[in-house]
Chain A
C-alpha cells in the first residue's frame, strides 16, 4: 500500500524533474553539435544529430529519451574527442558523489549532534552562545571561499592534506580518505551549522517536557537524560532536513568538485549543460532524482524507527 504510493511518487518526481529541466535546456541558444564537435565533418555531425535526436521536435525527443531510460539505455555522452555510454560515466561518477555525500553527512552529524545537545542543555550560557556564533559564521561563509581557505591553510601551508584529486578506495584507502578530507569538510561545515541549530531548538522544546522532569526525579544522570531521553524525540526535524539535503549534496556539489578536482556527478551535470547534451543531462538528473526519492523513503522508515507513535499509526 505505502510502497505503491511511493513508487507512483517516484515516477511522477522523475518525469516532472526531467521534463522541465529538459525544457529549460531547450531554451539555451546555439547548436549543440557546434559545441560538441567543432572540427567534425558534416557527416559526423549528422550522425551526432541523429543519435541525440536533435532534428526531432522536443516532445518526441523527450519521449525517445524516456523510452530509452526505462529500458536501461541512458544514451551517449560526448566529449570533444570521444563518445561513451552515459551509464559508463555514471558508474564512475556516482560512487564518488555518494562517497562525498555520505562522508560529509557523517562529519556534519557527528559534530552537530553533541554540540546541538549540549547547546540546548546549556541554553543561554557561554557554550551555547559560542556555538551559535560559530554556526552563523559557518553559514555565512560561501563554499568556494571556505574551500580555498582550507586548501591554502591545511593543504599548502601546513601540508596536512592533499589539495585535490580523487583515488578509489579500493586502490589506496589511505590516499582516498586523505583526499576526501578537505572537500567533505567544506561541504560539512554549512550542513553542520544548520543541523546543529535545528537540533538545538528541538532539544530545548523537549527538555521542557514533563517526562524529562520525571527522568530527572528518578535520579538519572544528565548525560543519560540528554542522550537517552531527549535526543530521540528531538531528532525528527534534523532527520528530515538531512534527508532533504541529500539531493543537493549528490548533484549540487559542483563547486566543491571543481575546486578539488573530483569527477563526481555535479561536474558531469555541469558539463552536460554546457555542451547542451540533453539526453545525458536528463539521464543524470533522473538518477539524482531517483536517489533523492529513495533516500527520503528511507528517512520515512527511520521516522517510525525513532518514534513508535508513527509506527503504530501506520499499521493501524
Chain B
C-alpha cells in the first residue's frame, strides 16, 4: 500500500509547512462587515498537530476554511498570507486550488451524517479523487480504496466499498470521511470538530485513528475543536481563539502549566475532571460569545471576564510573548497570574466560601 509510506518528496524539510501571517476574513452582511477572523498568525511544522480551540462563533471554523481556500469568493474577503511549503497560496485561483485540494491539503468535517454524498457509494467517493489526482485506473483505484477503508479500521472493507452512507453508523461514516480525506496523501489535514457530532464512546476511537494515521503518514494536522480536552494530549501546539483572534498560543504542555489568558482558564474549568469530587458543578463561561460586527475598542472578552478592569474595555491588548518564552503568546492586560487578577480571584473565592457557608453548602442556590 502506497499510502503507508510518506508521500514522495516530503522528506522532513526545513522551515514550517504552513505559515499563516496576519490573516483576516471578513464577510459583508446587511448589518455591516462581520470580522470572522482578525489578524491571525500561526505556523505549523511538518508532521505536527496544532489545536485551535474556541467556543462556537470564535471564528475557528472560518479560519480553517480560509486556510483551505474553501470560502465562497463572492461573500468572503480574505487578506494576509497563507504560506504553504514556501508558497503563498492565499491568492490562488479555484483552478490552482483544485490541484492542491486532496493532494496537499484535505479536510474533515464536523457532521459525518451530512458530509458524504447520500446517493453515491462510499467506495466511489474515495476512488474519484484517486482517479483524478493520481491518474489510477479503475481496478487500482478500487484496490487502493479498499486498503484505505481497511486502514481507517472499517471491518470487511471490500464489502463496504459498495454500500451507501446511510447504511453505516455515524462513527463508520466519519471513518469513511477520513479515508476520503487521506486518499491522495495530503501533507496537511484540517479536522474541523471531527468528533463533535459523534457518540462519546466513538470520539476517542476517531481521535486515536487520526493520530495513528498522522504519525504513519508524517502528516501535519490542524485540529479544530471547542473542547480543550480533545486537544490536550494530542496537539503539539494550541492556539486559543476568541472573537476571531488568537488570544493565547503555546506549546501544549506550557499552555496547561502556565495559562495566561482568563478565557483559556475559563475553557479549562469547563472540562469535566476525573479527580474532582463527585457532583462538582461544572463551571460555564457566563455571557455570550461576542458579536463580530462593529467590535468595541477593548478586549472582546472583557464583558465576560472576571478580572476585567477599566483598561480592558478601553484598549485591546496586543498578542505578546511571555517574558522569557517567545513560544508562548497571549493577549491580556491582566493575565491570570498577575497581581491584579490574583487579588480578584482571592476575593471571589472568599465570597464564594461565605455564600456556601450561608447557603448550607448549596452553591447552586440562586
Chain A residues with CB below 8 A from B167, complex form? 312
Query: Contacts A211-B114, A308-B119 known; A219 to B101 CB distance under 8 Å?
Result: yes
Query: Contacts A229-B120, A309-B164, A312-B166 known; A218 to B101 CB distance under 8 Å?
Result: yes
A214 pairs with B116, CB closer than 8 A: yes
Main secondary structure of the interface of A (DSSP, over half): helix
Cβ of B99 < 8 Å from any Cβ of A?
yes
Interface size on A, residues (CB 8 A): 23
A219 pairs with B119, CB closer than 8 A: no
For window 222-265 of A, CB contacts with B under 8 Å fall at 222, 224, 228-229, 232-233
Chain A residues with CB below 8 A from B106, complex form? 217-218
Cβ of A55 < 8 Å from any Cβ of B?
no
By size class, the interface of chain B is 20 to 34
B115 pairs with A307, CB closer than 8 A: no
B118 pairs with A307, CB closer than 8 A: yes
Q: How far is the CA of A221 from the CA of B70 in the complex (A)?
A: 14
Chain B residues with CB below 8 A from A215, complex form? 117
Interchain nearest-CB distance for A80 vs B (Å): 57
Query: Contacts A219-B99, A309-B118 known; A214 to B129 CB distance under 8 Å?
Result: no
Cβ of B94 < 8 Å from any Cβ of A?
yes
Chain A residues with CB below 8 A from B99, complex form? 219
Query: Contacts A219-B102, A219-B103, A312-B166 known; A307 to B119 CB distance under 8 Å?
Result: yes
Cβ of B100 < 8 Å from any Cβ of A?
yes
Known: A215-B117, A217-B181. 17 other contacts (CB 8 A): A209-B114, A211-B117, A213-B109, A217-B101, A218-B102, A218-B106, A218-B132, A219-B99, A219-B101, A219-B132, A220-B128, A229-B117, A233-B117, A308-B119, A308-B166, A309-B164, A312-B164
The 9 closest A-B pairs by CB, nearest first: A219-B101, A219-B102, A218-B129, A210-B114, A308-B164, A211-B117, A217-B107, A210-B115, A218-B102
Chain B contact residues, CB within 8 Å of chain A: 68, 70, 94, 97-103, 105-107, 109, 111, 114-120, 128-129, 132-133, 164, 166-167, 177, 180-181, 183-184
Chain A contact residues, CB within 8 Å of chain B: 209-211, 213-222, 224, 228-229, 232-233, 306-309, 312
